Copies of this chain bind each other. A is one copy, B any other.
Amino acid sequence: MKNVSFKINQTQGKARTGVLRTPRGDIRTPAFMPVGTAATVKAMMPESVTATGADILLGNTYHLMLRPTAERIERLGGIHKFMNWDKPILTDSGGFQVMSLAGLRKLTEEGVKFKSHIDGSEHNLTPERSMDIQHMLGSDIVMCFDECTPYPAERDVVAASMRMSMRWAQRSKDAFGDRPDHALFGIQQGSTTPEMREESSEALKSIGFDGYAIGGLAVGEGQEAMFDVLDYAPGMLPADKPRYLMGVGKPDDIVGAVQRGVDMFDCVLPSRSGRTGQAQTRMGAINLRNARHIDDPRPLDEECTCPTCQNYSRAYLHHIHKSKEIISSMLLTWHNLHYYQELMLGLRAAIEIGTLDDFAAAFHARREIGDIPSLV
């Protein structure tokens, strides 16, 4: 019997709340997964990530297979023990990052040959190898090995790419085998073409997965084109399984995608932007580098309950960012991840009580106003 299950609690329009149960813990959906690329959510202690409300992390197969290697992590007792995180972890398949980060690479039906961006060493990633790596890591939710179709692409390129991904999906499923405590997610491709998305969904459903991701978005098409796809793509996937929109996104991307029926998200934005002095807030993105904050005794957001907003002024955040102090990355990443988890909490609560439209309207209205007026 499968020890991973998904239960929908409530729906409003296409949006829904639910719980994805795993032996390592429950994931409340809609869920945001902070990115822990190299076995650490950058600038955060794992207990601080937990304090923001995260139920699950995402790890990157490509980075981990190169350093410290999946074999080493397996010998050391798995990724959870290694990085001191005992809740669920989802790992991507490595394919996307091979294409964006690796040096020379060669894509064939078999898989991808590439050279490491760290030391130039040669590697071979196939559906079977990706499943093997994710097994060694011990990740709770395993992603199929696929090709993320470049955007834009001609129709025949989209079709060929998507169909190869579907053959790889079957090979992934076969290689994944019978692992009752772990989930395998298929990935829908097909770019911005409804027929291709439909064909991809049918192929995935006939193989059968524990969850379904929407891939090939957030790759430069813009929010409008992405929402066009999200107007139909989630509905092609099984209603009783979690739907995961990969690599998304900005707060307003997430709100729009939840309204369109998506359950899971991951994005580097909250952690990466924190390291460059940017705060994600109810008022939009705020740049602490800006001189307007230099004498400002107020917190980033007076309504926020994170440690950064509770204990530090904008003037301090400006100072530590200008001084290139590590605590700047620590405090802003913490705030940003807290903000994202509070956003998900707000979305879930609104769906539960049937006020998602009001919630979304208030969300957009507050961002429209923008940051609080400067004191100078």
Q: Which residues of A contact B (CB under 8 A)?
A: 38-40, 42-45, 67-68, 72, 75-77, 82-84, 294-295, 297, 307, 311-313, 315-316, 318-320, 322-323, 325-327, 329-330
Residues of B within 8 A of A326 (CB): 40, 42-43, 326, 329-330
Which residue of chain B has the shortest Cβ distance to A64 in the bound complex? B319
Q: Please measure, in the bound complex, the distance between the C-alpha atom of A40 and the C-alpha atom of B319, giving whole angstroms.
A: 10
Partner of A316, one of B83, B316, B329: B83
Which residue of chain B has the shortest Cβ distance to A323 in the bound complex? B38
- Report the minimal beta-carbon distance from A354 to chain B, rounded to whole angstroms: 40
Question: Once the chains bind, are A312 and B68 in contact (CB under 8 Å)?
Answer: no
Given contacts A330-B326, A330-B330, contact A39 B319 (CB under 8 A): yes
Q: Please measure, in the bound complex, the distance between the C-alpha atom of A76 and the C-alpha atom of B317, giving whole angstroms.
A: 13
Given contacts A45-B330, A311-B84, A312-B84, contact A67 B322 (CB under 8 A): yes
How many subunits of this chain does the assembly comprise?
2
Q: Please measure, in the bound complex, the distance between the C-alpha atom of A325 and the C-alpha atom of B63, giving whole angstroms.
A: 13
Additional pairs, 14, CB under 8 Å, beyond known A44-B327, A68-B318, A76-B315: A38-B325, A40-B320, A40-B325, A42-B325, A43-B326, A43-B330, A67-B323, A72-B315, A75-B295, A82-B315, A83-B316, A84-B311, A84-B312, A84-B316
- Report the minimal beta-carbon distance from A52 to chain B, rounded to whole angstroms: 14
Give the top 6 A-B pairs by smallest Cβ distance, nearest first.
Answer: A43-B326, A84-B311, A68-B319, A40-B327, A38-B323, A40-B325
Question: Once the chains bind, are A319 and B67 in contact (CB under 8 Å)?
Answer: yes
| 24 intermolecular pairs with C-beta atoms under 8 Å apart | A38-B325, A39-B319, A39-B320, A40-B326, A42-B325, A42-B327, A43-B330, A45-B307, A45-B327, A45-B330, A68-B315, A68-B318, A72-B295, A76-B295, A76-B297, A76-B313, A76-B315, A76-B316, A82-B313, A82-B315, A82-B316, A84-B311, A84-B312, A326-B330
Q: Is the interface of A mostly helix, strand, loop or mixed?
A: loop
Q: Please measure, in the bound complex, the distance between the C-alpha atom of A67 and the C-alpha atom of B324, giving whole angstroms.
A: 12
Which residue of chain B has the shortest Cβ distance to A310 in the bound complex? B84
- Report the minimal beta-carbon distance from A221 to chain B, rounded to whole angstroms: 32
Given contacts A45-B330, A315-B72, A326-B326, contact A77 B297 (CB under 8 A): yes
- Report the minimal beta-carbon distance from A337 to chain B, rounded to whole angstroms: 14
Q: Please measure, in the bound complex, the distance between the C-alpha atom of A75 and the C-alpha atom of B320, giving whole angstroms.
A: 17
Given contacts A39-B316, A326-B42, A326-B329, contact A68 B294 (CB under 8 A): yes
Residues of B within 8 A of A322 (CB): 67
Q: Please measure, in the bound complex, the distance between the C-alpha atom of A40 and the C-alpha atom of B323, giving whole angstroms.
A: 10
Q: Please measure, in the bound complex, the distance between the C-alpha atom of A325 and the C-alpha atom of B252, giving whole angstroms.
A: 29
Q: Please measure, in the bound complex, the distance between the C-alpha atom of A82 and the C-alpha atom of B45, giving whole angstroms.
A: 23
Which residue of chain B has the shortest Cβ distance to A48 in the bound complex? B45
Residues of B within 8 A of A67 (CB): 319, 322-323
Which residue of chain B has the shortest Cβ distance to A313 in the bound complex? B76
Residues of B within 8 A of A327 (CB): 40, 42-45
The residue among A43, A294, A327 with the most chain B CB atoms within 10 A of its own CB is A327
- Report the minimal beta-carbon distance from A300 to chain B, rounded to whole angstroms: 14
Which residue of chain B has the shortest Cβ distance to A82 in the bound complex? B316
- Report the minimal beta-carbon distance from A166 to chain B, rounded to whole angstroms: 34
